[in-house]
Amino acid sequence: MGGLNRNKDLNNMARILIVFSSTDGHTEKICTQLKRVIEQNAHQATVVAIQNVQQAGLETFDKLIVGASIRYGKHSKLIFDFIERNLPLLERKSNAFFSVNIVARKPEKNQPETNPYMRKFLKQTTWQPKNLAVFAGKLDYPKYGFFDRLMIRFIMLITHGPTDPATVVEFTDWGKVEAFGQLVSDM
């Protein structure tokens, strides 16, 4: 009897690809947590950086998830190129998109409908992802080079965020990440 249940689980197992663009590694950390949640739901998840994606293997996945961080108000051009190249495939498969940005630390900007970077993304692409999420990122001044530290501190000053150059703070709501992982598993 146990073999039948296991076979049933294998028949329902989805192969899920999570493609991501990360500037400082935090989006990859979020993808790793999504993978954990997905695999706890008896699915197979593969996490691949956008620069390592091979188009030939995309067709073998049941679901495609795309995640991208923001730097200086923009998602990586590589994400837009990937979407444009694979739009018909993305539209045929179950899919989702998530954005990781510091502005999402604010409650009034942490939903897909209220996040300015998500709204901008949706205007810049013809792809209409079936599911969307926004996650607050991580601020790590000591990790940044001189120019990035200077620019990000200026942006934080304008947006009333932390400006102390020793600040390291993770704004990510990991419960929200886990809920998105469950949503992806169920879609």
What gap in Å lies between CA 76 and CA 73, rounded to an integer? 10
Q: What would the mean pLDDT of 85-98 be, rounded to a whole number?
A: 95
What gap in Å lies between CA 104 and CA 139, rounded to an integer? 12
pLDDT at 117: 96
pLDDT at 73: 87
Is pLDDT above 60 for 10?
no
Is pLDDT above 90 for 110?
yes
- Tell which CATH classification among 3.90.1530.10, 3.40.50.360, 3.30.1330.10, 1.10.10.10 matches the domain 14-137+172-186: 3.40.50.360
Q: What is the pLDDT of residues 27-47, one digit of tens each?
A: 999 999 999 999 999 999 999
Is pLDDT above 60 for 177?
yes
pLDDT at 8: 39
- For residue 148, the surrounding DSSP H or E stretch is helix 146-158
Is pLDDT above 60 for 185?
yes
CA 186 to chain CA mean position, Å: 17
Q: Where are the beta strands (DSSP E) in 115-172?
A: 132-136, 138-140, 168-170
Domain residue spans in the chain?
A: 14-137+172-186, 139-171
